Amino acid sequence: MSIESQSVTEEEEEIGIEQPAHHPPAPADELFDISTTVDPSYVISLIRKLLPPTMNTTTTSDMISGCDSATEGTNGSLVSQAEDQILENRHETMDIIDQINNSNDQEKHVDPLVGDESWEEHGCILWDLATSKTHAELMVQNLVLEVILATLTVSQSPRVTEISLGIIGNLACHEVSRKQIASVKGLVEIIVEQLFVDDTPCLCEEFRLLTLCLQGNESITWAKALQPENVLSRVLWVVENTLNPQLIEKSVGFLLTISESQDEVKAILLPNLVKLGLPVILINLLAFEITKVVGDERIPERYPVLDIILRAIEALTVIDSYSQELCSSKKLVHLLATLIKLGDKIEVATSCVTAAVLIANLLSDSDDLILEINQDLPFLQGLVDIFPFASDDLEARNAVWDIISRLLGQIQEGEISSLNLQQYVSILSSKSDLIEEELLDHQLAATNKDQETSTASIRTTALKRIDCIVSKWLALKDGVSPSKFGVNERDLDRLKDCCCKYSNLVIKDVKGSPEKMLA
């Protein structure tokens, strides 16, 4: 497997993809006015070696020899001669490519030039080199995209397809070469066709490439190519049916990119995706991944999969036109609650934080969903446990406070037995240290930037409701029978002190700073 683009190297190291170290050595001198540690003529010769058999003509052989001969000396005239010959023959190479692409009778070849593994070796070197912006531009200038287009047109080899898509994927990491990908006639269409290849490594590279292209200035071109219903159905079929963690991650990441794209891209692709069942598919995927997390043997390679699925669901919930099905899903709320109730959150902390944000989004759109979790004591306990993992995420901390406020509001408004009231007080007081640390962190952060009025309001409301419940229990505690939900008096005093101190501090700060309320 070739080294992937620099933008995704760390991600792929996490899922255990081995990276080879077979970059070609730097020559003594360099051709052309290009800053690179690799001889440009060497890169060009590698491109020529990827030509399908139909293109492997005397003309292309002459081009290779013309390039190679220039590396034998440092004479400036030889360098100029090689440049002239490459420019002269590019038109002839394009003619040959056009002949392949336009020939209706052209039969597909199996493994073009791969029989002796030399094609794979040359392709992998180019795959590696394409991570460099300089090499990528050189490759594009010397028709690598046209050569790959011809290769994809005639090849039936999954390995050839994977390498070809890998090269283009690395080229797509650079703005200039990404733009060129969309401008090569027929290339966008044939890349989209590779979605129908039944090969996991190919599909991983395919979704990586499509994700990168949708993030560029040519995203509308790609969205229109992906718009046909059979293409989007194939995307969802792959997402729903693959068991390969890497492919799930890449394909769901592609769907996430669509949801986070510019409005025009979303308008082209999302309506059909939702109509074809995207929300239900994402919820079912989440259900499957959560069974892996709550099991006895957790699988670390699945943690990124869980996280990307949650992010894809979250992205949909913030788009008004497509959030309704998710926001009315009791199944989704229960799945998220299961994740939040995990006792050991360290390994999936990021996912738990996203789950809290998601629940807050769902509750803001559907008040009835609070009834699904308002009597779930372990959920309240797990929710407070998220605070330390969300210390750097103001939105997530606000989300946790918002859920706590809504839960305690339900308790205040409804009838509750003294025993149940004691259970809530027991949980909240046992977490008084985490609550105090969260409030202190927020106070320190507020000294460096303006405090949002909405943030102060959410937290203050939650603290007042905690204080109200504690006061209500204190008034009834003498009549409560002993139970396993004991309340530590020291923790309870600490909790009461936090509620009083920080509620008053926030109220004073807001009243004394009217300009912050306008911010």
Q: pLDDT tens across 495-511, in order?
A: 988 888 877 655 444 44
Report the pLDDT averaged over residues 163-179: 95
- At 310, the pLDDT band (50, 70, 90 cuts) reads very high
Residue 306 banded pLDDT, cuts 50, 70, 90: very high
Q: Which pLDDT score is estimated for 81?
A: 40
Name the least confident of 32-46, 56-70, 102-116, 173-187: 56-70
Rounded to whole angstroms, how far apart are CA atoms 371 and 49? 65
Per-residue confidence (pLDDT) for residue 83, from 0 to 100: 45
Q: 418-430 vs 377-384: helix axis angle to the nearest 10?
A: 20
Higher pLDDT, 195 or 33: 195
φ, ψ dihedrals at 318, nearest 5°: -95, 0
By the 10 Å C-beta count (0-12 exposed, 13-18 middle, 19+ buried), 506 is classed as buried
Band the pLDDT of 456: cuts 50, 70, 90. confident
pLDDT at 8: 40
Average pLDDT over residues 91-106: 52
Q: pLDDT confidence of 36, banded at 50, 70, 90?
A: low
The CA distance from 222 to 210, in Å, is: 8
Separation CA 209–CA 395 (nearest Å) = 31
389 or 37, higher pLDDT:
389
The pTM (predicted TM-score) of the whole model is 0.80
Section 247-274 average pLDDT: 96
pLDDT digits (tens, 9 = 90+) for 373-427: 888 889 999 999 999 999 888 889 999 999 999 998 887 766 777 788 888 899 9
Amino acid at 425: V
Rounded to whole angstroms, how far apart are CA atoms 213 and 209?
6
Banded model confidence at residue 119, pLDDT cuts 50, 70, 90? confident
pLDDT, tens digit (0-9, with 9 covering 90-100), for 182-241:
999 999 999 999 999 999 999 999 999 999 999 989 999 999 999 999 999 999 999 999
AA letter at 406: R
Phi first, then psi, for residue 15 (nearest 5°) are -95, 10
CB burial class (10 A; 0-12, 13-18, 19+) of residue 134?
A: middle
Range with the poorest average pLDDT among 65-74, 213-222, 382-391, 434-443: 65-74
Kindly indicate the confidence band of residue 21, based on its pLDDT and cuts at 50, 70 and 90. Answer: very low
State how far the Cα of 479 lies from the Cα of 474, in Å rounded to an integer: 10
Does residue 90 surpass a pLDDT of 90?
A: no
Four-CA torsion 36, 37, 38, 41, nearest 10 degrees: 50
Region of 513 (left: φ > 0; alpha: ψ -120 to 50; beta: rest) is: beta
pLDDT of residue 7: 41
**Bigger pLDDT: 483 vs 518:** 483
Rounded CA-CA distance 371/88 in Å is 74
Position 57 pLDDT exceeds 50: no
211-220, 255-264, 312-321, 500-509: which range is least confident on average?
Answer: 500-509
Mean pLDDT, rounded, for 35-50: 81
Q: Provide mean pLDDT across the span 166-195.
A: 95
How confident is the model at residue 104, as a pLDDT?
A: 42
CB-based contact 463:502 (threshold 8 Å): yes
Structure confidence at residue 516 (pLDDT): 29
Q: Tell me if 177 sits within 8 A of 137, measured CB to CB.
A: yes
Average pLDDT estimate for 10-29: 38
Q: 109 — phi, psi (to 5°)?
A: -100, 140
Share of the chain above pLDDT 90, in %: 46
For residue 24, report the phi and psi dihedrals to the nearest 5 degrees. Answer: -70, 145
pLDDT of residue 409: 86
Average pLDDT on 297-316 reads 92
pLDDT-based confidence at residue 68 (cuts at 50, 70, 90) = very low
**Band of pLDDT at residue 294, cut at 50, 70 and 90:** confident
The Cα–Cα gap between 153 and 156 comes to 9
Mean pLDDT across 481-491? 72
**C-alpha span between 502 and 498 (Å, rounded):** 6
- pLDDT, residue 335, reads 95
C-beta separation of 60 from 97 below 8 A: no
